[in-house]
Amino acid sequence: MKLFNDLADFSAPEVADLLQLAGRLDEKPEPRALQGKVLSLLFLSPSLRTLASFQAAMIRLGGGAFVISPDMSIHGLETRPGIVMDGMAAEHIREAVPVIASYGDAIGIRAFAERRNLDVDVTDTEFNALRSLVDKPLINMESAINHPCQSLADWKTLDDLSVPKRGKFVLTWAYHPRALPLAVPAATLHMAAMRGMDVTLCRPEGFELPDAVMAKAHAAAEQSGGQITESTDPGTATEGAHVIYAKSWSSTRHYGQRHEDEALRNELEHWCVDEPWFANAEPACHFMHCLPVRRGVVVSDRVLDGPRSVVVAEARNRMLVQMAVLHRMMAG
């Protein structure tokens, strides 16, 4: 495998194969599979799970990773093309990325969503610019519009929990004081559709996902036999749900417009997932979230601390599916 950027690049059997490998590496460790192999990790935005789980994954396979992030003492990184670098930044990403990649057998990059221009982010302009600088196997560790490691981990979590392939998967917007990227909702919607599920996207007016994101998810549903419905009412959206997956994101109506986004979002503090949201769901309905999650804001303590919540299992699966990806990229 040369690129792990998007689940859409893989067929359903290929995904099944990766998940099977992830499970096998959990049960039968291979502590020498990547002996002497190096994973370069470049973080252009904050991380906890990704930072920890990729390092742990490499150690479990007998190799190792190093981390570079701009908050380290590294002179600052310039990203703008064609600029005269007479300011603070002493190094340009055009040198930094190839150099960092040159030290590894594979590289993982976390880029940021600029959240100024929706088209720029939906087409993953920033990440694709970084990609073009790398000639090693590359892992998208979250870009403006994708998060394939999270989606693969979530898919494994659904399988681990025996959530039916045709089960009802509700992806719901939730309140958060800040405008967050579209990567997780876009990737999650597509993942659930690709798994063949009965997906409901539940979000307030003004928080629709972009047309290109919806079209891609619909195509995946058509291929898999799943379906996608949209709703603005959590009460009806959650009826019969096997899974409620919460996530906050930016207003797409006012993308990059901070004040307009805030005005819209600040009316929506009641979009906090709590036990009543599960009233008409399946009795064993699970609560999912990619973390980090704000308690009492996105979801209530009682849901997060109760038996519905599988957020730690999702996070642990990050490590396992990444081990599978790394194994495919570097072993043998």
What part of residues 269-298 is at the interface with a copy of itself (CB under 8 A)? 291-297
> Which member of 59, 215, 263, 284 binds a copy of itself (CB under 8 A)?
59
**97 or 194: CB nearest a copy of itself:** 97
How many helical (H) and strand (E) elements, i.e. helices and strands, does the chain have?
Answer: 12, 12
CA–chain centroid gap for 282, Å, is 26
Alpha-carbon gap, residue 106 to 126, rounded angstroms: 19
**92 or 253: CB nearest a copy of itself:** 92
Q: To the nearest whole angstrom, how small is the minimum distance from the Cβ of residue 6 to a copy of itself?
A: 25
Scan for tokens 């064993």, then name that residue.
284
Q: Stretches 151-159, 161-169, 225-233, 309-317: which one binds a copy of itself (CB under 8 A)?
A: 309-317
Q: Does 162 bind a copy of itself (CB under 8 A)?
A: no
Scan for tokens 């380290």, then name that residue.
72
Q: Does 129 bind a copy of itself (CB under 8 A)?
A: no
Alpha-carbon gap, residue 209 to 248, rounded angstroms: 12
Q: To the nearest whole angstrom, how small is the minimum distance from the Cβ of residue 300 to a copy of itself?
A: 10
Which regions of the chain does DSSP assign to beta strands (E)? 3-4, 38-43, 64-68, 77-78, 91-92, 106-110, 138-140, 168-173, 198-202, 227-231, 243-247, 286-288
Alpha-carbon gap, residue 93 to 137, rounded angstroms: 18
Q: Does 74 bind a copy of itself (CB under 8 A)?
A: yes
Alpha-carbon gap, residue 213 to 209, rounded angstroms: 6
Copy the structure tokens of residue 317: 């699966």
> Which member of 17, 26, 30, 262 binds a copy of itself (CB under 8 A)?
30
Restricted to residues 79-108, the positions that interact with a copy of itself (CB under 8 A) are: 82-86, 90-92, 94-96, 98-100, 102-104
Cβ contacts of residue 75 below 8 Å, gap of 6+?
A: 89, 90, 91
Alpha-carbon gap, residue 226 to 198, rounded angstroms: 6
> Which member of 11, 16, 20, 46 binds a copy of itself (CB under 8 A)?
46
Q: Does 68 bind a copy of itself (CB under 8 A)?
A: yes
Q: Does 302 bind a copy of itself (CB under 8 A)?
A: no
Q: To the nearest whole angstrom, how small is the minimum distance from the Cβ of residue 98 to a copy of itself?
A: 5
Q: To the nearest whole angstrom, how small is the minimum distance from the Cβ of residue 287 to a copy of itself?
A: 12
Q: Does 35 bind a copy of itself (CB under 8 A)?
A: yes
Q: To the nearest whole angstrom, how small is the minimum distance from the Cβ of residue 135 to a copy of itself?
A: 10
The separation between the first and the last C-alpha atoms of the chain, rounded to the nearest angstrom, is 12
Q: Does 43 bind a copy of itself (CB under 8 A)?
A: yes
> Which member of 61, 106, 141, 321 binds a copy of itself (CB under 8 A)?
61
With CB under 8 A, what is the number of residues at the site for a copy of itself?
71
**168 or 176: CB nearest a copy of itself:** 176
| 270 CB burial (10 A radius; 0-12, 13-18, 19+) | exposed
Alpha-carbon gap, residue 219 to 310, rounded angstroms: 28
Give yes or no for a contact between 239 and 170, defined as CB atoms under 8 angstroms apart: no
Q: Does 301 bind a copy of itself (CB under 8 A)?
A: yes
Q: To the nearest whole angstrom, how small is the minimum distance from the Cβ of residue 71 to a copy of itself?
A: 4
Give yes or no for a contact between 32 and 327, defined as CB atoms under 8 angstroms apart: no
3-state secondary structure at position 165: coil
Q: Does 177 bind a copy of itself (CB under 8 A)?
A: yes
**237 or 304: CB nearest a copy of itself:** 304
Q: To the nearest whole angstrom, how small is the minimum distance from the Cβ of residue 88 to a copy of itself?
A: 10
Which DSSP category does 273 fall into? B
Restricted to residues 192-221, the positions that interact with a copy of itself (CB under 8 A) are: none
